[in-house]
Amino acid sequence: MELKLDGVLIPTTTPFQAGGEVDPAAFRSNLEWWLTTRILGVVVGGSTGEAVLLDEEERVALWDVAREVVPQDRLVVAGTGQESTRATIRLTRRAAERGADAVLVQPPAFYRSAMSSGVLRDHYHAVADASPVPVILYQVPLRFSTLDLPTGLVAELSEHDNVVGIKDSRGKLELVGELARATRDGFQVLVGNGAQLYSSLEVGAVGGILGVANLLPDETAGIVGAFQAERTSEPGRLQERVGPVHKAVVGGFGVAGVKGGLDLLGRRGGLPRPPLSPLAEGDRAEVERVLGTAGAGVAGA
């Protein structure tokens, strides 16, 4: 069955207990809230989820919780990208065994100078050949320790039957349109920049995997829904609310900002895992101000 990605998926945060262990109950609570909204599904084990700071068994435990809570008519996508092809395939197969509908695979980047287009093509082909579920490429934000996937390579990979889309988090609208034009019919382009969701849909994207959707799930999903329904003024009005939250909270404060925002909304955010630092008190006030301006229901406000 074809995997449809035309909507918004939340790259979920990972809550931790006071002692630093993953908090499955808090994660379940957040999932239950997100699922009351119009989101298409969740991505568990992405950048916003501090995946690179999680043990493999912690990722697997979170996938188990997600698949238990998320109904079958919504998606669970597992982040499985590792530095070796072997490890990526192993983790991808484990995600499929745990009920993931698809996997999101970031490129190996530590040996960056050795990652030619040919090397990356072979890596992704091996993963896609071995994966029991569809593969979504992940163009990680370039401010992270990663590499830039050339459009020609993405177009080539899009011809693989088991590579169904890409999440592009570079934040460059012209590259979103370029990907939509260059890839095969049916290949689905998702964006990671919540400030550009509406404009990205206009140039060929089908949806997004958006850190800001942790905080504004219904509003972000509403942009896609209104665009699909051709309600011409509604997507722009929603984008005006979502954009500043993405820029100030996600872009400005990163994981700590998103978690602090969840706390302010009465959800389960908590502290990032070291070496990431928590949100400073002054920054927390700014997150509260931005959320309030966006009309989010800040707890106690």
Residue 222 near residue 210 (C-beta atoms within 8 A): no
pLDDT tens-place string over residues 231-247: 889 999 999 999 999 99
| DSSP per-residue string spanning 246-285 | IIIIIIHHHHHHHHHHHHHTTS---PPPTTSPPPPHHHHH
Q: Six-digit token pair at 297?
A: 């229901």
Q: Determine the average pLDDT of the residues in 244-257.
A: 97
CATH 3.20.20.70 matches 8-231: yes
Map out the domains of the chain as residue ranges: 8-231
pLDDT in tens, 2-61: 899 999 999 999 999 999 999 999 999 999 999 999 999 999 999 999 999 999 999 999
| Cα gap 230→175, rounded to integer Å | 24
d(CA 185, CA 153): 16
In angstroms, the CA 251 to CA 43 distance is 19
Q: How do 75-79 and 102-105 pair as beta strands?
A: parallel
- The CA-to-CA distance between both ends of the chain, in Å, stands at 45
Per the CB < 8 A criterion, the answer to whether 215 and 265 are in contact is yes
For tokens 């068994």, what's the residue?
Answer: 57
Query: How many angstroms separate the CA atoms of 9 and 45, rounded?
Result: 13
- Catalytic residue annotation: 167
| Position 86 pLDDT exceeds 80 | yes
Name the 3-class secondary structure at 77.
strand
Using DSSP bridges, classify how beta strands 207-209 and 8-11 pair: parallel, antiparallel or unpaired. Answer: parallel
pLDDT of residue 143: 82
Is the Cβ–Cβ distance between 208 and 197 less than 8 Å?
A: yes
Contact between 128 and 135 under an 8 Å Cβ cutoff? The reply is yes
CA dist list (Å): 219 to 195, 236, 249, 257? 12, 11, 16, 18
This prediction has a pTM of: 0.96
pLDDT in tens, 170-207: 999 999 999 999 999 999 999 999 999 999 999 999 99
Say how far apart CA 262 and CA 256 lie, in whole Å: 10
Please list, in sequence order, all residues whose beta carbon lies within 8 angstroms of the beta carbon of residue 71, skipping any fewer than 6 positions away: 35
Choose among 136, 148, 245, 129: nearest CA to 187: 136
Measured distance CA(46)–CA(155) in Å, rounded: 23
pLDDT-derived band at 144 (thresholds 50, 70, 90) equals: confident
Instruction: Please give the Cα distance from 76 to 69 (Å, whole number).
Output: 10
